[in-house]
Amino acid sequence: MEVTLKVFRFNPDVDKKWRYETYKLEADPTDRVLDLLERVKGYTDGSLAFRRSCAHGVCGSDALRINGKNSLACKALVRDYGEKITVEPIMGLKVIKDLIVDMKPFFDNYKKILPFFINDSPLPADGKERRQSIEQRERFDDTTKCILCACCTTSCPSFWASDDYLGPAAMVTAHRFIFDSRDESASERLHILSETSGIARCHTVFNCTMACPREIQITKAIGELKLAMVTGNLE
Partner 1 sequence: MKRTLPISKRGLNFETIMWFFTRLSALAMYGFIIIGMIGALVMGARMNMNFADVMRWAFMSNSTHVQSTNIPDIAPWANAFWRLVASGFLLVASAHGVHGLVVIADDYLVKPLQRNVVRLLSIVMLVSIGLIGLYVIWTA
| Residues engaged in binding partner 1 (CB under 8 A) | 157-158, 161-162, 164-165, 181, 186-187, 190-201, 203, 226, 228-235
Closest distance between partner 1 and the C-beta of residue 191, in Å?
4
Closest distance between partner 1 and the C-beta of residue 165, in Å?
8
Return the number of the residue (99 or 228) whose C-beta is nearest partner 1: 228
CA distance 221 to 172: 7
Return the number of the residue (52 or 182) whose C-beta is nearest partner 1: 182
Closest distance between partner 1 and the C-beta of residue 164, in Å?
4
Closest distance between partner 1 and the C-beta of residue 229, in Å?
5
Return the number of the residue (175 or 214) whose C-beta is nearest partner 1: 175
CB 34 within 8 A of CB 74: yes
Return the number of the residue (151 or 190) whose C-beta is nearest partner 1: 190
CA distance 222 to 194: 12
Residue-wise DSSP of 174-205: HHHHHT-TT---HHHHHHHHTSTTTGGG----
CA distance 129 to 231: 30
* Cα separation values, 118 from 115, 141, 142, 188, Å: 9, 18, 20, 10
